Structure 1
Amino acid sequence: MKHAMNILGAAALASTILVGMTAQAQDGAQLFVSKACIACHGVEGKQPINDNTPKLAGQNKGYLMTQLQDIKSGARNNGQTAQMKPIVANLSDHDIEAITEYLSLLQ
């Protein structure tokens, strides 16, 4: 129940941040919550659950895209990728681009 409340609160927070963002970034914000990225990376990718999980907010879009694509393809298989692979496997190229656009715009 607490986890569900955190996700609902994060969704409400994300909706206030969306003003002024591109449509793609707005899609990315919604996907970040609905695809459960928030569960490990925290609200806006700023509050990871542990020291081994990276902060994603403000990272370079190209870097983030490469990391997600490499995890999805299996080119990257170190660190936390075992946990990420099943999540990333369900992301389309559009999803990856939208999520990384969103994260790259955050401060």
Structure 2
Amino acid sequence: MGDRHDRVLSRMLLALGLTIGAPAAVLAVDGETLYKQKICHTCHGDRPSEPILPLYPKLSGQSSEYLLQQMKDIRDGKRTNGLSAAMKAVVGSVTDEEFEIISNWLSTL
């Protein structure tokens, strides 16, 4: 029921956002989609508060500014600690706009 409920809720939020012009609802749906398309969930978990291993950071609830900067720093080679080398290969093709959408969505969880 959880996945079906989540999909229904996402569609309702998207429809509501399009109806009343609430960009946050649209960003939330797009952020979740991008999070999965860019394979973030393979390490950080389907629920960003539950990474697949304890050594991976929990992404939900962080500030969007912090998340955005960390993702860009890893992609651009400015952050090289921890598992950033492995993540660099994953985020290499992610655009700044996509990072922003994902970080905004994660900050709402």
User: TM-score, length-normalised on structure 1?
Assistant: 0.80
RMSD value, Cα:
2.1
Candidates 59, 82, 93, aligned match of 2:85: 82
Bigger radius of gyration: 2
Where does residue 53 of structure 1 map in the other structure? 56
2:7 matched residue in structure 1 = 15
Distance in structure 2 (CA, Å) of the matches to 1:31 and 1:14: 16
Structure 1 segment 1-107 matched on structure 2, within 5 A: 14-18=6-10, 19-20=12-13, 21-106=24-109
* Cα distance in structure 2, aligned partners of 1:91 and 1:71: 11
Runs of 4+ displaced beyond 6 Å: none
Amino acid at match of 2:91: V
Structure 1's unaligned 5+ residue stretches are 1-9
Distance (whole Å) between structure 2 residues aligned to residue 12 and residue 80 of structure 1: 33
Give me the TM-score of the superposition, normalised by structure 2. 0.79
Amino-acid identity (%): 36
Which has the higher relative contact order, 1 or 2, with Cα contacts under 8 A spaced 6 or more apart? 1
* Contact kept? 1:11, 1:33, Cα under 8 Å: no
**Secondary structure of the corresponding residue to residue 87 of structure 1:** helix
Shift of 1:72: 0.9
Partner Cα separation in structure 2 for residue 25 and residue 84 of structure 1 = 23
